């Protein structure tokens, strides 16, 4: 089965500005991948190429095996843009009905009810978009992206307008989507959010992928600290596997051990290091 | 927005009914005067008034056309309305075609309906009916459709506000072109007439408007016919048989250009 999203040497140039420089990325079926990077790193350009809003100047991208931008690719995906708006005179239910027609979904009222329930808008299904808060519109946007049961969901800053409760709703939704086998590419600035829900994280800056891996892989070991009666002993090059040996040596040397800590870099520190910012 | 259009239309029709009623009362007095025997006063008044109403119809049709289409591509993309639609499988050309078709049907029916209403008011107040009815109705509808297409094409390149201004300037330029032709004909200036003719083909809503003006009094001859040929707000000139094929080709070419550029545009 082809990857939900695959890019090969993907490049995009806007005049003299290189937004993407040969990006290689793969999102597997049912995988939840977080896309991190500073403003202007090329994250939104990458997502826009995947959904067919922007044309690449080099390389290629495929969605579920179909060229990005083709009708087959667009039929396989759901997308929530960073900046989006629905006609203010539509109700939440009408927005979803419109997108069911555009997507060729035959889910009917049952699908709309299920999606509104998923995003916590079931009680507001008849409310006009103009009468909704920004957070409600954001959740409606996520429901819209899920119309037609897409195989991959591309979310560009989906929680930017949400309060903490709304963000938790979205996290639960993402976990539920993963359980259903829907792949997700989550473009977000919220590292904690990405760390909490994503299977894999890709860090992009200056149009290139500079780090990629699971959150655990990116949170590298940064030494071992052992608190003894004589004070704190630091072993900066040691790893978790070295800890029992170090403790045994110290005990053999007559030290009394009170605490052993394996230090790890946080995702934030890894991110700041990868994008060339000072981590302190 | 539609409420504003309806209110403007109602105000326009009300004022037109009042104006034509007063004008035809004056005409009834002239008709008894032997000094004006060389001119068919009722036809002159009826065609002039309906010609003025046709100018109003073209203007209101253009306003509606611009408001329905000025933001279809760049404007809607800048507001974030377009992206959720474009990523659906229907395709950009279909989306653009659907937006044009919807606006063209609304504007075309509006312009034709408004022409019919003003013709009816003219008949009701002055017992005057245009020499031809269906042709000018269709031409005014087509003129509004041409403005729709120009606005749609402009929306691919320009932001909503800039496009709205540009299309209104084009409409104004077309009408001024017609007036120049009128002045050129009066002054016997070939250059002005030539400029006006080229302008009316470059902006065919003006050629349609002129042909429609000509059609409402196409069977008037003599001094009445000469006076009517000057027409209000543009010359009442027949555009000939090439007009409709040209309009169809113009719409097709502009639509193809809009679809081509939109299809390659980064959003």
- Tell me, letter by letter, the H, E, C secondary structure of A11-77: EEEECCEEEEEEEEEEECCCCEEEEECCCCCCHHHHHHHHHCCCCCCEEEEEECCEECCCHHHHHCE
* pTM assigned to the model: 0.83
Classify the phi-psi angles of B127: left when phi > 0, otherwise alpha if psi is within -120 to 50, otherwise beta: left
Question: Do A75 and B79 count as a contact with CB atoms less than 8 A apart?
Answer: no
Beta bridge mates, A186: A34, A155
pLDDT confidence of B190, banded at 50, 70, 90?
confident
Strand order, beta sheet including A66-67: A17-27, A5-14, A58-63, A66-67
What's the start-to-end Cα distance of chain A, in Å? 44
Comparing A40-44, A184-188, B41-45, the range with the smallest average pLDDT is B41-45
CA distance A145 to A247: 53
Comparing A151-165, B72-86, B232-246, the range with the smallest average pLDDT is B232-246
Q: What is the pLDDT of residue B91?
A: 87
* Residue-wise pLDDT tens digits, B135-184: 999 999 999 999 999 999 999 999 999 999 999 999 999 988 888 887 88
* Confidence check: pLDDT of A274 > 70: yes
Residue ranges of A 33-52 with Cβ closer than 8 A to chain B: 48, 51-52
Q: Please indicate if any CB of chain B lies within 8 Å of the CB of A55.
A: yes
| More confident of the two residues A147 and B240 | A147
Rounded mean pLDDT of A27-52? 91
Q: Could you say which of A14, A71, A84 has the minimum Cβ distance to residue B80?
A: A84
* Residue-wise pLDDT tens digits, B213-237: 888 877 666 666 666 666 655 456 7
State how beta strands A257-264 and A17-27 pair. Answer: unpaired
* Residue-wise pLDDT tens digits, A80-126: 998 899 999 999 999 999 999 999 999 899 999 999 998 889 999 99
Q: What is the pLDDT of residue B234?
A: 46
| Domain range A5-217, CATH class | alpha beta
| More confident of the two residues B241 and B252 | B252
State how far the alpha carbon of B199 is from the alpha carbons of A198, A262, B62, B152, B171, in Å: 61, 80, 17, 20, 11
Domain parsing of chain B, residue ranges: 2-263
d(CA A199, nearest CA chain B) in Å: 26
A217 Cβ contact partners less than 8 Å away, ≥ 6 residues apart: none
Provide, rounded to the nearest whole percent, the portion of chain B with pLDDT above 70: 90
- C-beta separation of A19 from A12 below 8 A: yes
Q: What is the pLDDT of residue B226?
A: 65
CA distance B84 to A79: 7
C-alpha closest to that of A9 among A45, A74, A57 = A57
The two counts, helices (H) then strands (E), for chain A are 10, 13
The two counts, helices (H) then strands (E), for chain B are 11, 0
Q: What is the pLDDT of residue B86?
A: 92
CA distance B142 to A167: 52
What's the start-to-end Cα distance of chain B, in Å? 27
Rounded mean pLDDT of B39-52? 84
**Closest CA in chain A for residue B77:** A84
ipTM over 0.85: no
Longest CA–CA separation in chain B, Å: 72
d(CA A216, nearest CA chain B) in Å: 34
């Amino acid at each position: 089965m082809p990857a939900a999203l695959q890019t090969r040497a993907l490049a995009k140039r806007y005049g003299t500005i290189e937004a993407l420089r040969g990006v290689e990325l793969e999102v597997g079926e049912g995988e939840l991948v977080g896309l991190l990077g500073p403003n202007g790193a090329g994250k939104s350009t990458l997502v826009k190429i995947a959904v067919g809003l922007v044309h690449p100047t080099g390389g290629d991208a495929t969605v579920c095996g179909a060229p990005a931008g083709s009708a087959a690719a667009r039929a396989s995906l759901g997308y929530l843009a960073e900046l989006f708006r629905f006609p203010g005179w539509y109700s939440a239910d009408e927005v979803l009905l419109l997108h069911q027609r555009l997507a060729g979904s035959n889910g009917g009222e049952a699908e709309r009810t299920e999606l509104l329930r998923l995003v916590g808008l079931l009680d507001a299904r008849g409310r006009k978009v103009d009468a909704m808060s920004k957070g409600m519109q954001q959740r409606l946007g996520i429901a819209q992206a899920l119309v037609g049961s897409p195989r991959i969901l591309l979310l560009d800053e989906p929680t930017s307008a949400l309060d903490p409760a709304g963000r938790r709703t979205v996290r639960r939704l993402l976990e539920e989507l993963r359980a259903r086998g829907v792949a997700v590419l989550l473009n977000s600035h919220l590292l904690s959010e990405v760390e909490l829900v994503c299977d894999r994280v890709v860090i992009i800056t200056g149009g290139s992928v500079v780090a990629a891996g699971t959150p655990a892989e990116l949170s590298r070991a940064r030494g071992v600290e052992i608190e003894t009666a004589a004070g704190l002993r630091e072993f900066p090059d040691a790893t978790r596997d070295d800890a029992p040996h170090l403790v045994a040596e110290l005990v053999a040397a007559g030290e009394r051990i009170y605490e052993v800590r394996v230090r790890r870099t946080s995702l934030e520190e890894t991110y700041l290091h990868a994008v060339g910012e000072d981590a302190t | 927005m539609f409420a504003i259009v309806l209110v403007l239309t109602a105000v326009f029709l009300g004022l037109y009914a009042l104006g034509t009623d007063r004008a035809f009362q004056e005409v009834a007095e002239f008709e008894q005067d032997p000094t004006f025997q060389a001119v068919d006063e009722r036809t002159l008044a009826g065609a002039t008034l309906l010609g003025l109403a046709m100018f109003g119809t073209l203007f209101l049709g253009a306003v509606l056309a611009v408001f329905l289409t000025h933001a279809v591509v760049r404007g809607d993309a800048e507001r974030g309305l377009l992206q959720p639609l474009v990523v659906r499988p229907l395709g950009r050309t279909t989306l653009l075609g659907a937006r044009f078709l919807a606006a063209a049907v609304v504007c075309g029916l509006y312009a034709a309906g408004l022409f019919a209403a003003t013709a009816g008011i003219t008949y009701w107040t002055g017992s005057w009916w245009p020499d031809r009815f269906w042709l000018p109705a269709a031409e005014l509808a087509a003129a509004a459709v041409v403005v729709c297409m120009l606005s749609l094409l402009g929306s691919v390149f320009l932001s909503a506000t800039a496009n709205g201004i540009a299309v209104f300037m084009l409409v104004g330029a077309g009408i001024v072109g017609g007036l120049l032709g009128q002045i050129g004909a009066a002054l016997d200036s070939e250059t002005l007439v030539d400029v006006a003719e080229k302008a009316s083909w470059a902006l065919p809503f003006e050629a349609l408007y002129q042909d429609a003006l000509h059609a409402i009094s196409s069977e008037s001859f003599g001094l009445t016919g000469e006076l009517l040929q000057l027409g209000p707000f543009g010359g009442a000139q027949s555009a000939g048989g090439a007009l409709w094929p040209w309009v169809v080709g113009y719409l097709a070419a502009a639509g193809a250009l809009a679809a081509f550029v939109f299809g390659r545009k980064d959003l």
